[in-house]
Amino acid sequence: MLSRRKRIGAAGVAVLVTAVSGCAGWGGGAGGGGEDSINVLMVNNPQMVDLQKLTADNFTKQTGIKVNFTVLPENDVRDKISQEFSSQAGQYDVASVSNFEIPIYAKSKWIAPLSDYIGQDASFDQDDVLKPMTQSMTAEDGKIYGEPFYGESSFLMYRKDVLAAKGVTMPAKPTWQQVADIAAKVDNAQPGMRGICLRGQPGWGQLFAPLTTVVNTFGGTWFTQDWQAKVDAPEFTEATKFYVDLVRAHGEAGAPQAGFTECLNNTIQSNVAMWYDATSAAGSLEAPNSPVKGKMGYAPAPVVKTDSSGWLYAWAWGIQEASKKKDNAWKFISWASGKDYEKLVGEKVGWSNVPAGKRASTYEIPEYVKEAAAFAEPTKSAIENADPTDPGVQPRPAPGIQFVDIPEFPDLGTQVSQDVSSAIAGRMSVDEALKRGQELADDVAERYRSRQAK
């Protein structure tokens, strides 16, 4: 019968494919691979991609531990990491979490404390790690729960040549008003060049990263210490209006969609004269084939009422509590965040690709300092001046500079950022956006108040 013939044929195909796929996808349970392999889930930033390339020939050869990577874009990987860790699925041993997740996951006991491993690992040298980094990864019980892979703060990057041509000097410690004035002066200094690039893309880690630091230094805050939401307060409103007006007046084209990558592109292609963003951008701007190499100046993050305003962020490694291979996982972390790895990257890939911003010793490697001369010192001092426990003018109920370290913040920040992004696009007023934001924030704050009352 025809269908029987088809079925035999199909069964034959199935057998063939089954045999072939002995190599593929028959995992199940806690991931595939042998006894000595670990699974790592990480974001696909360039530093991680380099890590993926270097692991087999270096780490696996030295230790015999095979590493299986899953690499995803930031939004996707955050969702997957939170799902994985919240259910303790045990699929992955190590994940690239940030200093945002670490305190939260530590409190929920989703990641394992590393203090014992650190104590026994002589070569790791925790003291070499920059203090704010270590502090942001220490939970309330005093134990360290993560190790940074690379860290960043924020600063102001500007085209020295463009400013000089217009007779403008950047102050050593600029204020936001000064920056706005400079942006106005250098707007259209070259054909098609806008004054400044600021992120406008919706996302708690996109638009609200720089915007929250602006809010902090204008004297505003998301929540007061007794959990009152202050999103539509005068300081927050003033800061947001300043940011939105600056972007609309002298900012890049396509601002409501512009995230880190778009602003990086704009700066490299000389479409903007200034850019306030992560210190990690400098590595790409000063890369050998960058058209703006050598032309950029670096100033501290602009301030108003505070002494410093750079943010603090690190992509770090955490070990899942449900992992059964914690020892191997620590070996991997110790290697990836160790001093030798940085030298390895410098030699094999390039000194501007070194995952910096976490160790003081990095800034003493001669080749690195030579390569990163323009931005090494500003980066290091930006990180060292960041204080996640006291970033603004008033006490905070939870740590964090450019975020509030509570689990509800990604959802809250993203929703409010969508409205602020609409304001940048001119589709909504800032007051309306912040009014909605206040309702959402108050919703969150109410739960915390009731918990505090208990």
Partner 1 sequence: MSSSITMVKGHQRRGGGWALSGLAWIVGILFVLPVLWMLLTSFHSEEDAAKNPPDVAAPLTLDGYRAFFDTGPWPSILNSLTASILSTVLVLLLAFPAAYALSIRPVKKWTDVLFFFLSTKMLPVVAGLLPIYLFAQSVHFLDNIWLLIILYTSMNLPIAVWMLRSFLSEVPVEILEAASVDGASLTRTLRSVVAPVVTPGIASAALICFIFSWNELLFARVLTGTVAQTAPVFLTGFVTSQGLFLAKVCAASIVVSLPVLIAGFAAQDKLVQGLSLGAVK
Partner 2 sequence: MSVDAKPDTAVKPARRAAPPGSQGTMLRKTGDWARRGPLLPALVFMIIVTQLPFVVTIVVSFMDWNAYYPDERGFAGIDNFRRVLTDANTRHAIWVTIVLTAGVVLISLVLGLLIALLLDRKFRGRGAVRTMMITPFLVVPVAAALLWKHALYNPTYGLFNGVLKWLFGENAPQPDWISNQPLWSIIFALVWQWTPFMMLILLAGLQSRPLDVIEAAGIDGANQWEIFRYMTLPHLRQYLELSALLGSIYVVQNFDAVFTITSGGLGTANLPYTIYQTFYTAHDYGRASAAGVIVVIGTIVIATLALRSVSTLFREETGR
Minimum distance of partner 2 from residue 96's CB (angstroms): 17
Residue 5, C-beta contacts closer than 8 angstroms, at least 6 positions apart: none
- Least CB distance to partner 1 at residue 235 (A): 30
Measured distance CA(223)–CA(186) in Å, rounded? 36
φ, ψ of residue 197 to 5 degrees: the values are -115, 125
Distances (CA, A) of 310 to 91, 247, 276, 322, 431: 36, 19, 10, 35, 26
Partner from partner 1, partner 2, none contacting 29, C-beta within 5 to 8 A by type:
partner 1
- In angstroms, the CA 146 to CA 100 distance is 11
425 binds, among partner 1, partner 2, none (CB under 5 to 8 A by kind): partner 2
CB of 112 to partner 2, least distance (A): 17
410 binds, among partner 2, partner 1, none (CB under 5 to 8 A by kind): partner 2
* Residue 299: strand, helix, or coil: strand
**Cα gap 162→431, rounded to integer Å:** 35
Least distance from partner 1 to the Cβ atom of residue 261, Å: 5
- Rounded to a whole number of angstroms, the minimum distance from the CB of residue 394 to partner 2 is 26
φ/ψ (deg, to 5) at 207: -65, -45
Question: Which one of partner 2, partner 1, none is in contact with 184 (Cβ closer than 5 to 8 A by kind)?
Answer: none
Cα distance between residue 362 and residue 151, in whole Å: 12
Given partner 2, partner 1, none, residue 11, with its beta carbon under 5 to 8 Å by kind, binds partner 1
Kindly tell me which of 29 and 167 has the beta carbon lying closer to partner 1: 29
Distance CA 344, CA 347 (A): 5
> Least distance to partner 1 from the beta carbon of 72, Å?
5
Q: How many CB atoms lie under 10 A from the CB of residue 79?
A: 12
Closest approach, Cβ 23 to partner 1, in A, equals 7
Residues in touch with partner 2 (CB under 8 A):
75, 79, 82-83, 86-87, 104, 108, 191-192, 201-203, 253-257, 262, 265-266, 269, 271, 407-408, 410-411, 414-415, 417-418, 421-422, 425, 427
Handedness of CA 392, 398, 402, 403 (dihedral sign): negative
* CB 311, min distance to partner 1, A: 16
Instruction: CB nearer to partner 1: give 264 or 299.
Output: 264
Name every residue whose Cβ is closer than 8 Å to that of residue 24 and which is 6 or more positions away in sequence: none
Residue 80 or 449: which CB sits closer to partner 1? Answer: 80
Pick what 104 binds: partner 2, partner 1, none; C-beta below 5 to 8 Å, kind-dependent.
partner 2
To the nearest 10 degrees (0 to 180), the angle between helices 339-348 and 326-336 is 50
Identify what 25 binds: partner 2, partner 1, none; CB under 5 to 8 Å per kind: partner 1
19: Cβ–Cβ under 8 A, 6 or more apart, which residues? none
- Interface with partner 1 by CB under 8 A: which residues? 1-3, 6-7, 10-11, 13-14, 17-18, 20-21, 23-33, 39, 41, 44-46, 49, 52-53, 68-74, 76, 80, 83, 87, 89, 91-92, 259-261, 264-265, 269, 280, 284, 289
Distances (CA, A) of 23 to 27, 32, 65: 10, 10, 19
Residue closer to partner 2, measured from CB, 18 or 108: 108
Residue 350 contact among partner 2, partner 1, none, beta carbon within 5 to 8 Å by kind: none
